[in-house]
Amino acid sequence: MRGALKTFVAALTVAVIAIACGPEARDQPAARDDAPPPTTRIASTPTLPDNDTPTTTRVWPANWPVPPLPVMWLVHPSGSVWGSPHRFCWHLGADASRVCEEYNIWSGVRTYPEAIPGKRIPVTIESETRPDRVFANVYTRHGNLMVESLELGPNHPALDLDLEPGDYHIRVIGQWPYADPSAPLGRRYNEVSYEFGLHVPGAVALIGGCGMTEIGGDLRIVLRSLDDRLRTAADSANRAGCRFNKPIAQFVLTLENDAQTYTEVFRIDPPLVEFGLPLPEDLASETSGGPLPPGDYSRRMVAIAEDGQEFDITGIDGVLDTITLAGR
């Protein structure tokens, strides 16, 4: 799959969400009303049961200043798996204050049940009322690349995903409306989100993407020399941050025209799942094919994983595939 952040994704049905009672969560929320009411943060972390058999009784810390929060779990053929709390923001009452808390992303995800082709995975939500809206976002476990974002209906929503083999994190978010006369539409939303792991069996393909700043103007790259740091920039003005689902061990820059080809191989040690463009100036590299005369050149930048799989960074929108080498 490919977007502003070029990612690809494909293969396997993953999930349904069955709701048994109702409140839950957030992440890609609907259009929000104006500024939220005052919030209070607390540091307590909910106590989660160690077993994987859901019950209708949930124990939260004694100082929990909100009503019992909704609970989510996945029902796999091999057994039920509790969701790890990610975030909640809950309205406390007539004074219009809310309690909000967010935990380290994915830190509570400990298991990655195997997805079975063609099998839906129900997600049960236990709460006093049904949510008004339910969302689900899917990310690669390594690199944290979002590969799917869906809005689901509140009544037995189904999460159907085609995913490449690999490990994934799923965040399920629910929203529950509450009345607030100060809001433009007379209501705001409580939100709760839970996180889960999922494994899709098979050979894992290299997935990557780069997000960029948005400085305008003349973005053409004109190099003073082949040592100019801009040779590995997305363009002449913007910085890019690139992430991958596998550690990248090499980065290969190729400049060519009808007469000549120049190649520079950067070695990334230790391999990384995330790095910026342009590359650091002190990164070691080996070159071949230089020097080059002044002129225009086509450019290709390729990230290579430890297992040899390649990802063409110049295939991403906004990354220039031509540069100019200026004369002295």
Q: Which residue has the higher pLDDT, 26 or 283?
A: 283
Q: Count of H helices and E strands in the chain? A: 0, 21
Nearest C-alpha neighbor of 60 from the set 42, 79, 37? 42
* Lookup: tokens for 121: 């995975």
Interval 48-88: pLDDT, tens = 434 333 333 343 445 555 667 888 888 777 778 888 889 88
CA distance 212 to 222: 19
Residue 230 backbone phi and psi in degrees, to 5: -65, -10
Q: Is the peptide bond before 68 cis (omega within 30 degrees of 0)?
A: no
Interval 227-283: pLDDT, tens = 999 999 999 999 999 999 999 999 999 999 999 999 999 999 999 999 999 999 989
Residue 174 and residue 134 in contact, taking contact as beta carbons nearer than 8 Å: yes
Direct distance between the N- and C-terminal alpha carbons of the chain, in angstroms, rounded to an integer: 43
**Segment (H or E) for 297:** strand 295-305
Mark out the alpha helices in the chain (DSSP H runs). Answer: none
CA distance 289 to 310: 22
Residue 217 and residue 200 in contact, taking contact as beta carbons nearer than 8 Å: no
pLDDT of residue 227: 93
pLDDT of residue 56: 34
Those residues whose C-beta lies under 8 Å from the C-beta of residue 50, and which sit 6 or more positions away, are none
Tell me the residue ranges of DSSP E strands in 113-165: 123-127, 133-140, 146-152, 158-159
pLDDT of residue 90: 85
CA distance 60 to 41: 16
Distances 140 to 73, 103, 307 between C-alpha atoms, Å: 20, 19, 18
Distances 265 to 5, 153, 216, 316, 326 between C-alpha atoms, Å: 24, 49, 30, 20, 22
Interval 154-165: pLDDT, tens = 776 666 777 889
Supply the pTM of this predicted model: 0.74
